[in-house]
Amino acid sequence: MSAQVIANFLDKGVSGDINVIHMVNASRGSPATRRHQKKEAEIIKTAAGLVERSGIDSLTTSALADAVDLSPAALYRYFPAKEAIVAALVADLLAGLEDRYQRLQAALGLGPAQPRALASLLLAARCAGELAALRPRRFELLRWVAAGPFALDAEPSREPVRLHLMSLLGLCAQGLEAARRCGALAPEDDPGVPDEPSLAEEEDIDLLRAWQWAFALHGLLSSASVAARLGRPFAPEAQALALARTLLLGHGAPAGALASAERLAAAAQRSLGPISAEPVGDVTPPPPAPPPRPGHAGPGTGGEGGGRRR
């Protein structure tokens, strides 16, 4: 896929309103900037724990401010609204998904072109499924953001979300292109595409298929909460892999190459190991703090960024 196509696609999907001055200042690494970034990371980690433990409704600015030992007014210096906190959580989730997928791809190593190309696509579904299994409530934020009051509009705080979404979509399109070029997938399966598509039309096919994959996986994995309410078992990773097989066969993948690809994908995951089972953020409630000794101030009376008032 040409660099120009990816650039044009990103231009269509990503707002250009990036605060360049803020990015330059952040890159300088002054002590004040480092302290701010450290506290911001702590806030995101703690917010992730609140969501994973009790759901998105538990993520209020007052609860989060209390958990990170800030006043609500001081919290606003880092995140001006709940929408900005949610956007940061989603961007963090997508960044982890992208990193996991790239590391799984690197673990594939060398091998026959067709099984390796198909294995790369199976791994995309696998890492999405395992992340949904490990962080189910955070994963649901993707659906909440897309369909709820935090739709991806031009709000600057959502810029990282759009960037990570487009990056993941680009990785998927590149994988589909590689599979198509080595003959692991049919050239086209869209009746609206000519029998001999041009280069631009072939690239459109890869982007179209990437959109199909993204929305199909997202819809499937978002249904886990419905299955839980119905009391039905739901294994996100197995379901994601089953969907990926169906999509690949529908795109013309040879059954033999797909079987080899499944073995390659499983071997790559074994070599890399599973996603850490450690909880993200402060998922378990902390032990109660001991009462302050006479003459000593308790927590929350100061600190970087402004602590809570006494």
**For the segment 175-232, what is each residue's pLDDT rounded down to a tens digit?**
999 999 999 998 765 444 445 445 445 567 888 888 888 888 888 887 776 777 787 8
pLDDT confidence of residue 122: 94
Q: Any idea what the CATH number is for the domain that residue 124 is in? A: 1.10.357
- Range of 27-31, 132-136, 262-266 with top mean pLDDT: 262-266
Instruction: Count how many domains the chain has.
Output: 1
Is residue 13 one of the residues assigned to a domain? Answer: no
Is residue 205 one of the residues assigned to a domain? Answer: yes
Which domain covers residue 160, as residue numbers? 94-272
Average of per-residue pLDDT values in the chain? 75
CA distance 76 to 192: 50
**For the segment 70-104, what is each residue's pLDDT rounded down to a tens digit?**
998 999 999 988 888 888 888 888 888 888 899 99
**For the segment 3-60, what is each residue's pLDDT rounded down to a tens digit?**
444 444 444 444 333 343 344 344 456 888 888 888 988 999 999 888 888 888 888 8
**For the segment 99-121, what is each residue's pLDDT rounded down to a tens digit?**
889 999 889 877 789 999 999 99
Is residue 75 one of the residues assigned to a domain? Answer: no
Is residue 6 one of the residues assigned to a domain? Answer: no
pLDDT confidence of residue 189: 52
Q: Are 206 and 173 in contact (CB under 8 A)?
A: yes
Percent of the chain with pLDDT over 90: 23
Is residue 59 one of the residues assigned to a domain? Answer: no
Q: String of b and e for 39-65 (b: at least 16 CB within 10 Å)?
A: beebbbebbbbbbbeeebeebebeebb
pLDDT confidence of residue 7: 42
Is residue 223 one of the residues assigned to a domain? Answer: yes
Is residue 66 one of the residues assigned to a domain? Answer: no
pTM of the model: 0.70
CA distance 249 to 258: 8
Is residue 113 one of the residues assigned to a domain? Answer: yes
Is 284 a residue whose pLDDT tops 70?
Answer: no
Collapsed DSSP state (helix, strand, coil) of residue 189: coil
